[in-house]
Structure 1
Amino acid sequence: MAVIRGRRAFLGLAGMVFLLGALAAAWMAPVAAQSEAAPLRVVTTTAMIADGVRAIGGERLASVDSLLGEGVDPHLYKPTRADVARMLRADLIIGNGLQLEAQFQDTFDQLVRSGRSLVFAAERLPKDRLLADAAYQNKPDPHVWMDPDLWIEVMAQVRDALVAKDPAGQASYTRGYENYAERIRGLSAYAKSVLSGIPPERRVLITAHDAFGYFARAYGFGVIGIQGVSTESEAGLRRIEEVVELAVARKIPAIFVEASVSDRNVKAVVEGSTRRGHDLRIAAQIYSDSMGTPGTYEGTYLGMIDHNATTIARALGGEAPERGLNSRLGTGS
């Protein structure tokens, strides 16, 4: 049986490699002949990057597609044949990098060998701005979008990638970037304002996995992820008991579930706290590795971080408007 499974896995890999080769050959000629001028077809790995590409690129882009949608875990997602086909049709592919898309590595290698334009925007950040993944030596924490000020720097790399592919659009991309960066700065200021009202003893963020390190650094929190930085790691009973002990000792009122991660471990911590006589409630869902439903406010980068900051502030004893910064802007929910 193991031999059969191994053969199937080999055939699956061989089929993917064949598909890459065949599609590359099919698309190489038209791509080579295509002018470098806009409109560009851009494919991104995460929806957070796609949101920024749309804001910066505007009308100079023919299309922007993200491979990882609502509720998808980028640590575990493996690209499909349809994903490969979409990337081969693109003029530019933009990923986060920092090993967030670890399951894409073989596909990325094939795409580069086929002559595709591939950029990892977060990997151009200065190393001293990155946090380390405590579970893996020399591996950075890839969740840089959780700090809006840091994300502005990532978006500058997106702007530069678009300009490099479409030099004629430089002025347009620069304007788009500056407008988007200004909106993100406003979001960061709002988050600092509402989160600053949380009492010091409650400034601990307990979440399903450790995706909020940059958020914690930016806004003065301790952060406890039941799982590690990558959801590939599993939390054992000892880890769950450690988190229960902290929640009880610090009298933390709320724990947060994430849209893209199972709530199994979160419920285990709540049950353990209840047995110890502490009322730990599950707060509203927050977003970590993916945004909300496309077409909603939470389905944008600004809405994602606004929702997180507002939800965390209200759950841990701070004050924030019910609809967050969104209510101040007067935009739809």
Structure 2
Amino acid sequence: MKKSILIIAFFSLIFGCKNEKKASGKLQIVTTTTMITDLVKNIGGDVVDIKGLMGSGVDPHLYKASEGDVTKLANADIIFYNGLHLEGKLVEVFEKMKNKKTIAIADALDKNTLIGSEYFASNFDPHIWFNIDYWLQAGAFVSQTLEAELPEQAETFRKNWENYKAQLITLKAEITKTIEALPKEQRILVTAHDAFNYFGKSFNFEVVGLQGISTATEAGVQDVQKLAAFIIEHKVRAIFVESSVPKRTIEALQAAVKSKNHDVAIGGTLYSDALGTAGTVEGTYIGMFKYNVKTIVEALKASND
């Protein structure tokens, strides 16, 4: 019932307003995840007005639009979202917005290069931000979209993108150097769900998630026991909590390992489906990536020294 009310309210707002830009002339943009919000802010700069739907610690797999979100979406000139059914609960809303400019940044990527997933209707793993090369492609796509929408500010968007592009290239080089300090046989990353497969593919980590790729799937007792056996067999000494997934899932896994007379440490909390708190270093894509890699490498090195 609530879902129907939100959809009705959404269309009432769309047809009841002209959706004009504010008197400032700024482009009105709505973004879904915190990663996309950060990307668009770095490219759009001060000439756009950005409203992000999701905040720190929010799980996009389970996120549902509020009445306030409906208002933001109705008043937007452009809506940037991830796509590949990451925002599963918002798909129906986006599909009904035929007269709104909705942009899935995943459309910038060659689908033949993506990791397959049986958990999503798109049949692809949607956690594309953990491949920095993909994020570079997404950034170029966002810049081109903004340039076309607001031609008078095209030069600003291009300059902002070139600056941020250089930062992303530097980020990849720094992360690669940090990871090289960790022997390949120790690169086993066990987390709450499989958000890190693109990261693993990029940096030669074996990634195992307790809940699979989507947090909408529940981990059962057999899943916990199976992963506990894997941890023991491969002598994995550190596992990781995710900021957007309840800690109890990893604590249950740790308990299962200990019940078999083995120890496994919780190596820290990683940012997976959302950035850290706004205004902090981890509240940016670059800061999040550096923090995650530092946490992973230090925990796995310390536990295997």
Aligned-pair CA distance for 1:318: 7.2
Tell me, yes or no, if the aligned pair for 1:38 and 1:166 is still in contact at 8 Å. Answer: no
Tell me, yes or no, if the aligned pair for 2:85 and 2:121 is still in contact at 8 Å. Answer: no
Q: Distance in 2 between matches of 1:315 and 1:308?
A: 11
Aligned-pair CA distance for 1:15: 1.8
Equivalent residues in 2 for 1:105-144, closer than 5 Å: 105-112=91-98, 115-135=99-119, 139-144=123-128
Equivalent residues in 2 for 1:157-172, closer than 5 Å: 157-172=141-156
Q: Distance in 2 between matches of 1:291 and 1:46?
A: 9
Counterpart of 1:312 in 2: which secondary structure?
A: helix
Aligned-pair CA distance for 1:44: 0.2
Counterpart of 2:4 in 1: which secondary structure?
A: helix
The one of 289, 304, 307 equivalent to 2:273 is 289
1:82 is aligned to 68
Tell me, yes or no, if the aligned pair for 1:20 and 1:110 is still in contact at 8 Å. Answer: no
Tell me, yes or no, if the aligned pair for 1:38 and 1:169 is still in contact at 8 Å. Answer: no
Please say if 1:51 is aligned against 2:38. Answer: yes
Counterpart of 2:276 in 1: which secondary structure?
A: coil
Please say if 1:17 is aligned against 2:15. Answer: no
Please say if 1:220 is aligned against 2:207. Answer: no
Q: Deviations over 1:273-300 (max 9, x none)?
A: 1122222011111100000000000001
Counterpart of 1:227 in 2: which secondary structure?
A: coil
Q: Which runs of 5+ in 2 are unaligned?
A: none
Rate the CA distance shift 1:103–1:138 in 2: closer, same or farther, 3 A.
closer
Q: Distance in 2 between matches of 1:267 and 1:260?
A: 15
The one of 284, 289, 297 equivalent to 1:300 is 284
Q: Deviations over 1:22-74 (max 9, x none)?
A: 2112222x53xx59x9521111001111111111111221x211101111110
1:153 is aligned to 137
> What letter corresponds to residue 264 of structure 1 in structure 2?
R
TM-score w.r.t. structure 2 length? 0.94
The one of 165, 173, 197 equivalent to 1:189 is 173
Counterpart of 2:141 in 1: which secondary structure?
A: helix
Q: Deviations over 1:211-235 (max 9, x none)?
A: 0000000100000000111111111
Aligned-pair CA distance for 1:137: 7.5
Q: Distance in 2 between matches of 1:193 and 1:20?
A: 48
Any runs of at least 4 consecutive aligned residues in structure 1 with deviations exceeding 3 A, and if so which? 134-138
Q: Which runs of 5+ in 1 are unaligned?
A: 1-8, 320-333
Tell me, yes or no, if the aligned pair for 2:85 and 2:122 is still in contact at 8 Å. Answer: no
Q: Distance in 1 between matches of 2:117 and 2:65?
A: 24
Tell me, yes or no, if the aligned pair for 1:198 and 1:318 is still in contact at 8 Å. Answer: no
Equivalent residues in 2 for 1:248-327, closer than 5 Å: 248-317=232-301
Counterpart of 2:93 in 1: which secondary structure?
A: helix
The one of 214, 226, 233 equivalent to 2:217 is 233
Tell me, yes or no, if the aligned pair for 1:132 and 1:141 is still in contact at 8 Å. Answer: yes
Q: Distance in 2 between matches of 1:218 and 1:197?
A: 16
Q: Distance in 2 between matches of 1:262 and 1:133?
A: 22
The percentage of aligned residue pairs carrying the same residue is 35
Tell me, yes or no, if the aligned pair for 1:283 and 1:315 is still in contact at 8 Å. Answer: yes
Q: Distance in 1 between matches of 2:45 and 2:122?
A: 37
Tell me, yes or no, if the aligned pair for 2:117 and 2:125 is still in contact at 8 Å. Answer: yes
Aligned-pair CA distance for 1:124: 2.4
Q: Distance in 1 between matches of 2:233 and 2:83?
A: 37
Q: Deviations over 1:149-179 (max 9, x none)?
A: 2111111111122112112222111111111
Please say if 1:26 is aligned against 2:16. Answer: yes
> What letter corresponds to residue 130 of structure 2 in structure 1?
M
Aligned-pair CA distance for 1:262: 1.1
Q: CA RMSD in A?
A: 1.9
Please say if 1:94 is aligned against 2:84. Answer: no
Q: Deviations over 1:105-158 (max 9, x none)?
A: 22112322xx21110011220012211114458610000001112111111111
Tell me, yes or no, if the aligned pair for 1:199 and 1:318 is still in contact at 8 Å. Answer: no
1:6 is aligned to none
Q: Deviations over 1:65-96 (max 9, x none)?
A: 11011111100111111101011111111001
TM-score w.r.t. structure 1 length? 0.87
Counterpart of 1:316 in 2: which secondary structure?
A: helix
> What letter corresponds to residue 17 of structure 1 in structure 2?
I
Counterpart of 1:93 in 2: which secondary structure?
A: strand
